Amino acid sequence: MGNELTWVIIKLMAAEIPTMKEIAKKLGISTSSVSRALHNHPSIGLRTRMRVNELAKELDYELNQTAIFFHNKKTFTVGVILPQLTETFFSEAISGIEDIANKNKYTVLVGQSHNNEEREKAIIQTMKEHRVDGFIISISKNTTHYEHFEMLKKHNIPMVFFDCIPQMKNINTVECNIETGTIKAVTLLLKKGYRIIGLINGPERLLASKQRLDGYKLAIHKHRLKYDPNLVINTDLTTIGTQNAMLQLLKYKRVPTAILTFNDYVALDAVQYARKNNVMASSEISFVSFANLPSNCYTSYPPIASIEQFPYQQGQKSMETLLQILADPKKENNGLKTIIEPQLVVNDILS
C-alpha cells in the first residue's frame, strides 16, 4: 500500500510526457487505433480519429521520435563534417545544407575537424554511433588516411564529399571546377597586360593545389608564354607560409606584377606583407584569389578579382545528392558527381 502511494506520487511529480498508451487508456481504445488516428491512416473511424486528436492536443502530445528512429532504423539526421566554420566558405555551405535538409524534415549534426585528422575520425565515430542517416564531408587539409571513410562505405552509410575531396574511387562529390576557374583568372590578368604572374598555392599534396597549378600552366601556355616555376610557391596556407612565399617572390629577379593566391585569406596576408614592406608604394601588385570573402569590398587593397565558388549552392547540391541516395531503395548509388562552374567576379567596388 505504501509503495503504491509512493509510486503514484512519483508518477505525478515526474510530469510524464504523454504516450499513446495513455491516450488509449483514457479513451478506452487500443494503442494501434491511436497510432492510426494520429497518422491519418485511411482505415480509422472519423469519430475515434477526432476524439484522439482532441485529447492529443489537450495533453500536448507529441510523437516520441526517439522511439520512431529506433523502430524505423532511420534518424532523419545528417552528419556534416568540415574544417572550420569561421571560414565563410563553410558557414555559407552549411546554410545551403541546412536549408535543403530542413525542407525535407532532416536535422543537421555538425562537427569541425579543425584540419586535424584524428578529430575528423573521432567525429565520424560518434556520429556513426548516433546513427546518422548519412554524411556530408569536406575533409581536413591534413587528412592523409582514408580508413574512416572506407569504413563508412563498408557499412553502407551514404556520404557526399564537397570542396575538399579525398582521392578515392567511386564516391559522391560536389565540387567547383577549380581548373577552369584558374584559367579564367589568369586569362583576365594576361588580358589586362600583366606578364609576370605569381601563384601562391597550397600544399602540393592537395588535389586543389594541383588543379590550380594545371589551370595556371594551361592559361600561360595558351598565351604562348613560357611557364616559370620560380613564380609558383607552395605553402601550408598559414600566415607565416604566405609571408615566406611573398619574400621569395619579391626577391626573385622577375618580380611579379600580379599574384594569384590559393584563397582570399592568403591574399589578405600577402597584401598585408607587401604593405608592411612598402611594396605597394613603389610597384603595385594586383591580386586575384579564390573564395570571394564578403569582407573583400572593405579591405584596403582588395583583389582585383575573385573566383566565386558558390559555397551555398555547393551545400545545397550536396544535401540534394544525399537525399537522392537516401531515397533510393537499392543502395547502389555511388559515383554521383556534380561540378559547379566557378565565376570570375571582377571587383569594381573601389576602382
Binding residues vs DNA (CB under 7 A): 16-17, 19-21, 28-33, 35-36, 38-39, 42-49, 63-64, 67-68, 70-73
Residue 308 in the binding site for a copy of itself (CB under 8 A): no
Residue 299 interacting with a copy of itself (CB under 8 A):
yes
Please give, one letter per residue, the 3-state secondary structure of 32-56. HHHHHHHCCCCCCCHHHHHHHHHHH
Alpha-carbon distance of 52 to 55, in angstroms, equals 5
Binding map of a copy of itself across residues 150-189, x = CB under 8 A, - = no contact = -----xx---------------------------------
- 305-308 and 343-346 as β-strands: parallel, antiparallel, unpaired? antiparallel
Contact 80, 136 (CB under 8 A): yes
Q: Are 323 and 349 in contact (CB under 8 A)?
A: no
| Nearest alpha-carbon partner for 128 in 93, 101, 154, 97 | 154
- From the CB of 32, what's the least distance to DNA, in Å? 3
335 φ, ψ (degrees, to nearest 5): 85, 20
> How far apart, in Å, are the Cα atoms of 221 and each of 202, 225, 228?
22, 5, 11
In contact, 245 and 233? CB cutoff 8 Å:
yes
State the nearest-atom distance from the C-beta of 167 to a copy of itself, in Å: 25
The answer to the question of residue 85 lying near a copy of itself (CB under 8 A) is yes
Residue 141's binding partner out of DNA, a copy of itself, none, with CB under 5 to 8 Å set by partner kind: none
Shortest distance (Å) from residue 20 CB to DNA? 3
Of the candidate residues 84, 230, 238, 334, the single one contacting a copy of itself (CB under 8 A)? 84
Binding site for a copy of itself (CB under 8 A): 15, 17, 60, 62-67, 69-70, 73, 75-77, 84-86, 88, 91-92, 94-95, 98, 102, 105, 107-112, 114, 122-123, 126-131, 155-156, 268, 271-272, 293-295, 297-300
